[in-house]
Amino acid sequence: MAMDTELFKQAREAASVAYVPYSHFPVGAALVAKNGLVFQGCNIENASFGLTNCAERTAIFKAVSSGVREFEMIGIYGETEEPISPCGACRQVLTEFCPDEMPVWLFSKAGDVKKTTVGDLLPYHFKNLD
């Protein structure tokens, strides 16, 4: 998938099933795997707020639990004025599975785009102990 418009649509569609009774702030992620599959994720909240899972982590966990660990890009959509910016926890989880140079497309509600990378979102990050 090359076109960011298609990625935008997939991320926005993912947000449409977000479970957000507390924040009313739906977020969607579309994670494109190297094998061409697209894993969509939404945020899933909980009455115990800290147990909330963000859209980005839902997408990564869906992929990894399906046996897929190689990724090409991710698009993240929020109903925001400016392109959304992923939280620190999601940046760390992205770092675990995605190369630093992997493109990250951030989308606003209106479709404004900011393109960055996993490495730029979390420079000098913690890696595993190997």
If one asks whether residue 14 binds ligand THU (CB under 6 A), the answer comes out as: no
Site map (CB under 6 A) of ligand THU, residues 16-55, x = contact: ----x--x-x-x---------------x-x------x-xx
Report phi then psi at 92, rounded to 5.
Answer: -65, -40
56 is annotated as an active-site residue: yes
Rounded CA separation 130/41 (Å) = 30
| Nearest CB to ligand THU, comparing residues 56 and 73 | 56
Instruction: Output the CA–CA distances (angstroms, integers) from residue 16 to 1, 9, 41, 44, 90, in the order listed.
Output: 21, 11, 10, 12, 20
Least distance in angstroms from the C-beta of 123 to ligand THU = 18
Q: Which of 45, 56, 81, 101 is catalytic?
A: 56
Q: Which residues are identified as catalytic? A: 56
